[in-house]
């Protein structure tokens, strides 16, 4: 039969040899697909014997798919025995979301790397947060070794060292990568409340502040803008008056939000917010040869701001949901989004925040986006989200404490019935690079639980050289688009103008009042002077008109006349 391009046939099943029976001749081993290729399994020839061991009989039929699929590895019958049954995930089911879980050091990152390689090879773009920095090795061909050869041979993998098209990003430019920023308005009050660890009342109040800014034409682009608004509402007299018009927002709550925001900014979080805002459509890129671009977001100093990073990833996912059109069921996803350290997203989250996550995950499938949560235990993920994850790759869990044992039991209860006597024991006994797998088949039904030895990635299973990453970032067409930050007029500048105008108007009003006071004083002084002059004139007239004054004047006149004519008083 003809092969689907980029795929290879699955080997025929070989029966398990029964004691005392003559061994059946082994079928020739076919050339297997590389890790970066999808596999379409042809129908088994009529003469092919069916597997006789009970586990292979129960598992093998569930992983025979007609369409292209990603190879995960080989079915294990027990800790030492490996069958020739291939465990795979249908490419078309990857937008039904998934979970990669397991304790630290059990191989979760390598599983993520294996999936990303094959998705890229099948023309599906990938986004992943590079928590530890070692996913950058996807851009570099892997290095062969005896240990690697032994592993690939055991699962029937033809391994070829291959590098994959990779774009590096860094939040706010902190690290090696194209800067990724978001405006405060786009980030929104719900996600910001999660980052600031606000309670539900404070989260509601923060929403009122965003509403106030939107209503009054105050763009919130960065942390400085929001801080300026809160300082205006809590510190300025005009702002306090406006605060009273915002129903349900008390000065005390506004003050709490402001203090949390100042503390958040002191941690260096201001670089994550601003312009130019990243367009998430830039994750949906293909190379000229049709491979999907793998976008890796570096997360430096995760331990300092864990909630910020996980919430920032949630914003990216929500923005994709907002911008992408409805697509329905596609033959393959438009993007697969790996959400590493997912437990950080759900820790102490409000009910409103959890509802938003669940809704986004539930609906984004119709936009052609698949989401894989990567965390230590399935119990880290809320039930309403976990219920929507169709593919499960469960690495080893440990049960050293009562809580661990409880988590293990809860994990086992989420799986469909398996052919293993004690699935919990299997999960605890998994080796590095082994996992318990169940996925959705092409009809949307869960496949049988399969203890799987995973294939090896073909790219470098370590961090890429720094100089190579820096050269890739410098050569990226996105660097010119996002490298330089923009500081346009926003709420901070508008409020500064408003305060400056208010101060100018207040000064003008004070000057006018002073001038009016001075003019009033002048009028009072003038009137007093005129009244005094009138009073003086009245006294003079009274004197002049008096009889005594007239007699005095006649006597004086006679004396003057006598003196003038030489006649004196005798």
What pLDDT sits at residue 75? 95
Q: Residue 207: its pLDDT value, please?
A: 92
From first CA to last CA, the distance across the chain in angstroms is 170
Quick: pLDDT tens for 139-179.
999 999 999 999 999 999 999 999 999 999 998 878 899 99
Instruction: Compute the CA torsion angle 262, 263, 268, 272 (nearest 10 deg).
Output: -60
DSSP assigned state of 140 = S
Mean pLDDT for the chain overall = 82
Confidence of residue 487 (pLDDT cuts 50, 70, 90): confident
Cβ-based neighbours of 506, under 8 Å, separated by 6 or more: none
Residue 500 has pLDDT above 90, yes or no: no
Token couple for 569: 């008083």
More confident residue, 566 or 494: 494
Residue 38 dihedral angles phi and psi, to the nearest 5°: -85, 155
The tokens of 32 are what?
């297997």
pLDDT band at 308 (very low <50, low <70, confident <90, very high): confident
Give residue 498's pLDDT.
73
> What tokens appear for 532 in the block?
């005094």
| pLDDT of 265 higher than 50 | yes
Where in the chain are the domains? Answer: 68-171+278-476, 185-268
What is residue 4's predicted lDDT score, i.e. its pLDDT? 40
Given a cut of 70, is residue 200 above it in pLDDT? yes
What does pTM read for this prediction? Answer: 0.77
Residue with the larger pLDDT of the pair 218 and 550: 218
Contact criterion met (CB below 8 Å) for 376 and 410:
no
Q: In the CATH scheme, what is the homologous superfamily, with its name and number, of domain 68-171+278-476?
A: P-loop containing nucleotide triphosphate hydrolases (3.40.50.300)
What pLDDT is stored for residue 565 in this prediction?
43
Mean pLDDT of 412-421: 83
68-82 mean pLDDT = 93
pLDDT of residue 414: 81
Dihedral sign of CA atoms 303, 304, 306, 312 in order: negative
Q: How high is the pLDDT of residue 106?
A: 92
pLDDT of residue 17: 38
CB atoms within 10 A of CB 356: 18
pLDDT by residue (tens digit) across 522-542? 766 766 666 666 655 565 566
> pLDDT class for 210, splitting at 50, 70, 90?
very high
Please give the residue that has the higher pLDDT: either 434 or 502.
Answer: 434
What is the distance between the alpha carbons of residues 408 and 516, in angstroms, rounded to a whole number? Answer: 83
31 pLDDT exceeds 80?
no
How far are the Cα atoms of 116, 224, 234, 438 from residue 37, in angstroms, in the given order? 11, 48, 60, 20
Q: Which residue has the tokens 């939000």?
A: 257
Strand segments (E) across 360-420: 369-375, 391-394
When pLDDT is averaged across residues 61-84 and rounded to a whole number, the result is 93
Q: Indicate whether 366 pLDDT > 70.
A: yes
Selected residue with higher pLDDT from 536 and 258: 258
Omega before 251 cis (within 30°)?
A: no
Distance CA 457, CA 219 (A): 46
Evaluate whether 261 touches 226 at the Cβ level (below 8 Å): yes
pLDDT at 543: 56
pLDDT given for residue 557 in this prediction: 53
Tokens 């092969």 belong to 3
pLDDT at 44: 47
Residue 108 contacts residue 461 (beta carbons within 8 Å): no
| 245 vs 140, higher pLDDT | 140
Residue with tokens 């049988």: 448
**In terms of pLDDT, which residue wins out, 234 or 473?**
473
Q: Provide mean pLDDT across the span 38-53.
A: 53
- The rounded distance, in Å, linking the Cα atoms of 423 and 409 is 10
* CA separation for the pair 258, 256 (Å, rounded): 5
Considering 204-208, 420-424, 434-438, 501-505, the range whose residues carry the highest mean pLDDT is: 434-438
Coil, helix or strand for 74? strand
Residue 185's pLDDT is what? 92
Write the CA distances from 554 to 544, 547, 558, 562, 566, integer angstroms: 12, 11, 6, 13, 19
Check pLDDT > 90 for residue 554. no
Q: pLDDT > 70: what percent of the chain?
A: 80
Query: What average pLDDT does this structure show over 231-258?
Result: 85
Residues 211-237 have a mean pLDDT of 90
Taking the C-alpha atoms of residue 477 and residue 308, their distance in angstroms, rounded to an integer, is 27
Q: According to the model, what pLDDT value does residue 134 have?
A: 87
pLDDT band at 399 (very low <50, low <70, confident <90, very high): confident
The percent of residues above 90 in pLDDT, for the chain, comes to 46
pLDDT confidence bin for 297, thresholds 50/70/90: very high
Which whole number is the average pLDDT over 467-494? 90
Lowest mean pLDDT among 50-64, 360-374, 428-442, 539-553: 539-553
C-alpha Rg value of the chain to the nearest Å: 41
């Amino acid at each position: 039969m003809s092969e689907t391009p980029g795929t290879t046939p699955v080997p025929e099943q070989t029966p398990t040899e029964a004691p005392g029976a003559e061994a059946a001749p082994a079928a020739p081993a076919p050339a297997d697909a590389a890790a970066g290729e999808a596999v379409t399994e042809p129908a088994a020839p009529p003469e092919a014997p069916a597997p006789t061991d009970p586990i292979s009989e129960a598992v093998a039929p569930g992983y025979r798919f007609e369409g292209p699929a990603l190879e995960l590895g080989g079915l294990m019958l027990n800790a030492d025995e490996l069958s020739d049954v291939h465990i795979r995930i249908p490419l078309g089911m990857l937008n039904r979301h998934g979970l990669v879980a397991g304790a630290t050091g059990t191989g979760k990152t390598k599983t993520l790397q294996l999936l990303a390689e094959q998705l890229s090879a099948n023309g599906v773009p990938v986004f992943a947060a590079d928590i530890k920095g070692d996913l950058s090795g996807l851009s570099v061909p892997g290095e062969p070794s005896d240990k690697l050869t032994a592993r690939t041979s055991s699962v029937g993998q033809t391994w070829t060292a291959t590098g994959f098209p990779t774009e590096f990003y860094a939040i706010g430019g902190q690290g090696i990568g194209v800067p990724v920023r978001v405006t405060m308005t786009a980030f929104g009050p719900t996600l910001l409340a999660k980052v600031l660890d606000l309670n539900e009342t404070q989260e509601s109040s923060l929403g009122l502040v965003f509403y106030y800014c939107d209503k009054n034409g105050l763009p919130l682009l960065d942390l400085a803008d929001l801080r300026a608004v809160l300082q205006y509402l809590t510190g300025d007299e005009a702002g306090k008056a406006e605060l009273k018009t915002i129903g349900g927002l008390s000065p005390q709550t506004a003050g709490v939000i402001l203090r949390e925001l100042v503390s958040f900014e002191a941690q260096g979080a201001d670089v994550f917010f601003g312009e130019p805002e990243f367009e998430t459509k830039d994750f949906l890129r293909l190379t000229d040869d049709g491979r999907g671009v793998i976008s890796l977001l570096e997360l430096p100093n995760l331990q300092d701001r864990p909630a910020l990073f996980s919430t920032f990833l949630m914003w990216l996912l929500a923005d994709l949901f907002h911008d992408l059109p409805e697509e329905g069921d596609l033959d393959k996803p438009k993007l697969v989004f790996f959400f590493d350290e997912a437990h950080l997203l759900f820790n102490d989250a409000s009910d409103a925040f959890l509802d938003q996550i669940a809704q986004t995950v539930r609906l984004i499938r119709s936009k052609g986006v698949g989401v894989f949560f990567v965390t230590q235990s399935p119990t880290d993920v809320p039930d309403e989200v976990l219920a929507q994850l169709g593919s499960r790759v469960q690495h080893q869990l440990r049960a050293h404490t009562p809580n661990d044992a409880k988590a293990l039991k809860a994990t086992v209860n989420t799986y469909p019935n398996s052919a293993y006597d004690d699935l919990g024991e299997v999960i605890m006994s998994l080796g590095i690079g082994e996992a318990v797998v169940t996925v959705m088949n092409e009809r949307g039904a869960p496949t049988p639980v399969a203890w799987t030895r995973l294939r090896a990635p073909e790219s470098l299973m370590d961090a890429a050289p720094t100089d190579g990453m820096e050269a890739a970032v410098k050569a990226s067409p996105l660097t010119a688009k996002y490298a330089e930050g923009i500081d346009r007029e926003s709420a901070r500048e508008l409020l500064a103008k408003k305060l400056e105008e208010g101060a100018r108007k207040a000064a003008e009003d004070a000057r006018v009042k002073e001038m009016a006071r001075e003019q009033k004083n002048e009028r009072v002084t003038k009137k007093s002077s005129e009244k005094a002059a009138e009073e003086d004139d009245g006294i003079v007239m009274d004197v002049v008109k008096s009889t005594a004054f007239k007699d005095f004047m006649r006597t004086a006149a006679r004396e003057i006349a006598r003196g003038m004519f030489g006649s004196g008083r005798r």
